[in-house]
Amino acid sequence: MISGIKRRTMSVITVTIFLSAALAAAQYENSTLQAGKVHVRSVLIIPPKVMMEKSGLESTDPMLEASHEIEAPLAASVAEKLKQRGYTIVADPFTPNALDADPDLKYTLADLQKAFDSLNALMWKKPQDVGNGRFTMGNGVNKMNPGGAADALIFIRGDGLSETGRRETAEVLFGYGPTYVFHVQIGVVDAHTGSVLYYGKGWSYHPSTSAIAVKWALAQFPAYTNH
């Protein structure tokens, strides 16, 4: 009887995980990019923001240090994938030293990140509206593109759960294993107009395999072709 309950519990959990993961992997392209009306050659990667949480039996708490450690490898995975597609990566102007030396740059970056966070929440709910050009950050993005070196800005978000020992123990007792998934969202924003040109969602089973999530998220982002 107990083993039957365990099997049914595992089946329900497994289906839930894969359905959630399937929904977390999708790509949406602005019709102007798809039609070749907008051309992207060079991109500037905005520093990623990641939020990992540890989930226990009684609470879920943020893991700030672990989140920060994931951000640089995640940005590197995105840069590598875009290079493979033929894009030029603009030199990173947002190094810690540069931000410390220029408070205005630091505040401008913080404001832009907040603006994308708000837009990301909307795109997550209605990603299909990326296609009709509904989503835009406005031409204020020009502040992040002095001299017009970049054609597009790349915004990256990541989130996931890390099971604590108590929850892992409970899961073993009930007959199923750790169930967390690492999610990635990537937004490609026109560096001149602020229009969202592409939005992709991807996932992997662990932050250490975030390159898989990046691959999912950028699956439909077109390779650069010399126009």
Q: How far apart are alpha carbons 159 and 181 in whole angstroms? A: 9
3-state DSSP of 126-192: CHHHHCCCCCECCHHHHHHCHHHCCCEEEEEEEEEEEECHHHHHHHHHHCCCCCCCEEEEEEEEECC
The CA R_g of the chain, rounded to the nearest whole Å, is 19
Q: What is the mean pLDDT of each run of 10 residues along the chain (227 residues)?
A: 44 44 72 92 96 73 80 95 96 91 93 95 94 92 84 95 57 50 93 96 86 94 81
E strands in 76-167 = 88-89, 152-163
pLDDT value for 59: 67
pLDDT value for 18: 46
pLDDT value for 64: 74
Q: Which residues, 6+ apart, have CB-to-CB distance to 65 below 8 Å? A: none
pLDDT value for 57: 62
pLDDT value for 128: 93
User: What residue has token string 């740059």?
Assistant: 105
pLDDT value for 12: 42
